[in-house]
Amino acid sequence: MSEQRTEACAALMRQARAIVDANGTGEAALEQLKGLLVGLANRGEALFPPGDFAMPDAQGRNHILAVEDNDGMGLYLTIGLPGKEAAPHDHGIWCVNAAISGREVNKFYRLTDGASRDRYSAIEEIGEAMVEPGQGMAMTDHTIHATEVLGDVPAIGLALYGYALARFPAVVWYHSEFASARACVSRRAEAA
């Protein structure tokens, strides 16, 4: 099982690299990547049996499936427990998600004021996408989104990022109730 999974993930990474090298990371290219990822996720328990991946101790967990060398992309199996939420944030890099099981809603925002005064930030919701079996979502660089796992089963899926998680740029979290934003330290310096 593990060998088949490793081969399938490596094949996806090769295809993803070819798409990015030929087309960049605009919306059209990310839609192609989403199609690839949904196809892999649709192979579900045949490649990703739940017993092969530890459940989270808290709300969520990421399992590394494949990471490119030389500051490249990272592919992960993600697990979010029912009710897991993430406030609006921008992780500074593109991302494509696809579900194996469960449901996670992604709400998207736009920045309406991020510079009128120090540490002030205003965002407004502009749409949403449901990530569930057969459905995925793609986000370009600097998309602001929030997530919530719906229902009473874990959301298990695949996530492909422009960088490995260990090399993420600074994540910016938006707190609309306080009209503020805060940036976490970039992991890129630590990974160098």
pLDDT of res. 169: 75
Q: What beta strand segments (E) does the chain contain?
A: 60-67, 74-80, 85-90, 95-101, 103-113, 122-131, 136-139, 144-150, 155-161, 172-175, 180-183
Number of separate domains in the chain: 1
Q: How far is CA 3 from CA 48, 117, 121, in A?
A: 11, 53, 47
pTM: 0.89
Token pair of 181 as six digits = 């934003």
- pLDDT digit string, tens, across residues 100-132: 999 999 999 998 876 556 666 788 999 999 999
* 47 vs 190, more confident: 47
Q: What is the Rg, in whole angstroms, of the alpha carbon atoms belonging to the chain?
A: 17
CATH number of the domain where residue 43 is located: 2.60.120.10
Q: Which has more pLDDT, 57 or 176?
A: 57
- Where in the sequence is the domain holding 45, given as residue range(s)? 2-191
